[in-house]
Amino acid sequence: MKKQKSTTGIMRQRPFTPWIYLLPALLIMATFIIYPGANTFYLSVRNNDNSGWAGTRCIAGQPCWGVFENYRYALTNTIMQTAFLNNLKWIILMVSGTVIIGLLIAVLADKVKYEALAKSIIFLPMAISFVGAGVIWKFMYNYGSSQVQIGLLNAIVTALGGKPVSWLTEPGINTIALIIVGVWMWTGFCMTILAAALKGVSTEILEAARVDGATEWQVFWKIIVPQIMPTITVVITTMIINVLKIFDIVYVMTGGNYGTEVIANRMYTEMYKNYDPGRASAIAVILILVIIPVMIFNIHRFQKQEEIR
């Protein structure tokens, strides 16, 4: 690097130069994200073969929402209501599960010498595909009606004198069983981000508190948690978005049967099994409407950080 000359400031450029750099990206994104996004809105108010407005699907004598007929289906149909309820279960249990366990492991691993190894083990499932995880857990949940249980969970249950459980078909249990797979996969993500935030907590303050006689429990709740709260919020919002879009685990393990349906899988089913783009698009629009508040939060956070920059 040569010595600076007297003039400063960013190099002048011809007005169209930035657009040459941006053009390929903008074109591709317009084609693959913005156009389909807009098109989905349009399809959601059309009938199933896109030959007229959705109102034409109405059956005389039955409730009808006119052009929003597809939305009526998406919001009032029984299977969709199951899906909404299940997504809510997913959000509550998976977000709290991953964040709490992730934080617990991050805090504990900070105290031991084999920190790196422990974190690797928890983090590894992140590198595996949902399909691979699906196979792993289907085997764990295997249900044999005969004497021998080759699934570990049922082997434990029968060894304790219980009756083997069909984890993936038993309503009520099966959604929880799927959420456990999600927690298994995503805890590493939460742990990694929270661990990085923990490293940023000033050791001096912690030491000072300990010298003053604070218990570890107090140190955790009164000092660590408030300090890393912004990061915890980020992890929670990111996880909520991830969970809302959850598809693969359900698709691979139960296909949405036995009352395990979720929104994203329902959309896939409507589109590629029932060949009904109208309904599928309506579900997609609802999904994005649910995500938008979280998205606004994300942009807001981004702008705040821009101000600091």
Partner 1 sequence: MKKTAIFHRLRNIPVHVVLIGMCLMWMIPTLGLLVTSFRPLQDINSSGWWTIFTKPKGYDEYQTYCGSCHGDDGAAIPEADLTDPDLVQQYRRSITLTPLLEQDINGQPHLGDMSLPNEDQTATIATYMRRLSGIDTNTKFTLDNYIDAITGYRGNNTYRSDCASGTQSLDLYCDIRDLANPRGMGRAFLNSLLVAIPCTVFPILIASFAAYAFSWMDFKGRQWLFALLVGLQVVPLQMTLIPISRLYAGLGLNGTFLGIWLFHTGFGLPYAIYLMRNFLGSLPKEVFESAYIDGASHWTAFTKLAMPLSVPALASLAIFQFLWIWNDLLVALVFLGGQHPVLTYQIGNMVTSLGAGWHLLTAAAFISMILPMIIFFTLQKYFVRGLLAGSVKG
Work out how close the CB of 4 gets to partner 1 at its nearest, in angstroms, rounded to a whole number: 5
Work out how close the CB of 56 gets to partner 1 at its nearest, in angstroms, rounded to a whole number: 19
* Of 56-64, 87-95, 166-174, 297-305: span binding partner 1 (CB under 8 A): 297-305
List the one residue from 83, 94, 109, 282 that touches partner 1 (CB under 8 A).
109
Q: Which residues have a Cβ under 8 Å from the Cβ of 295 and sit 6 or more positions away?
A: 241
Q: Does 301 bind partner 1 (CB under 8 A)?
A: yes
**Helix, strand, coil % in the chain, rounded to nearest 5:** 70, 0, 30
Q: Does 252 bind partner 1 (CB under 8 A)?
A: yes
From residue 176 to residue 195, the character string flagging contacts with partner 1 as x (rule: CB under 8 A) and all else as - is --------x--x-x--xx--
Q: Does 95 bind partner 1 (CB under 8 A)?
A: no
Give me the residue label for tokens 């508040």: 293
List the one residue from 51, 145, 203, 303 that touches partner 1 (CB under 8 A).
303
Q: Does 227 bind partner 1 (CB under 8 A)?
A: no
Interface of this chain with partner 1, residues 75 to 94, rule: CB under 8 A: none
Q: Which residues have a Cβ under 8 Å from the Cβ of 39 and sit 6 or more positions away?
A: none
Interface of this chain with partner 1, residues 122 to 141, rule: CB under 8 A: 122-132, 134-140
List the one residue from 39, 76, 81, 215 that touches partner 1 (CB under 8 A).
39
Number of C-beta neighbours around residue 274 at 10 A: 11
Structure tokens at 76: 């009032």
List the one residue from 64, 248, 258, 259 that touches partner 1 (CB under 8 A).
248
**Residue 164 in contact with residue 77, Cβ under 8 Å?**
no
- For 13: left if phi > 0, alpha if psi spans -120 to 50, otherwise beta; the answer is beta
9: Cα within 13 Å, side-chain hemisphere: 5
